[in-house]
Amino acid sequence: AIDPQFNENREQVDEHEGHAVWGPVEEPEELGIHGTHVAVDFDICIADGACVEDCPVDVFEWVDTPGHPESEEKADPANEAQCIDCMLCVDVCPVDAIDVDAG
């Protein structure tokens, strides 16, 4: 599962579509965590798609990640600022790849 303390245990190594990327990143096999308020561990995501389908405010957008061992696309928290903290995505992800900091 995603480490809920990722922002203390990892370093921000990049930015993507206006959100942080937390390392380590070693493309294409290791992609890190995308987002901060809505964080998706790309190395855990298996592209199930439940988060993309269920988010009421369309926070997630698919990004292609060819060559990643778990899946060739990931749910990117492209619109994390729109999140209303409903926690639906956290509940539906089958591999616990998402952390939402509703605090």
Residue among 10 and 98 whose Cβ is closer to ligand F3S: 98
Q: Is 34 in the site for Zn ion (CB under 5 A)?
A: yes
d(CA 54, CA 30): 26
- Tell me the three state secondary structure of residue 51: helix
Residues in the chain: 103
Stretch that binds ligand SF4, among 2-10, 13-21, 42-50, 52-60 (CB under 6 A): 52-60
Question: Per the structure block, which two tokens stand in for 33?
Answer: 């965590």
Residue among 24 and 86 whose Cβ is closer to ligand SF4: 86
Question: Per the structure block, which two tokens stand in for 60?
Answer: 């997630």
User: Which amino acid, residue 99?
Assistant: D
Stretch that binds ligand SF4, among 8-16, 20-28, 54-62, 66-74 (CB under 6 A): 54-62
**Interface residues toward ligand SF4, by CB under 6 A:** 38, 55-57, 59, 83-89, 100
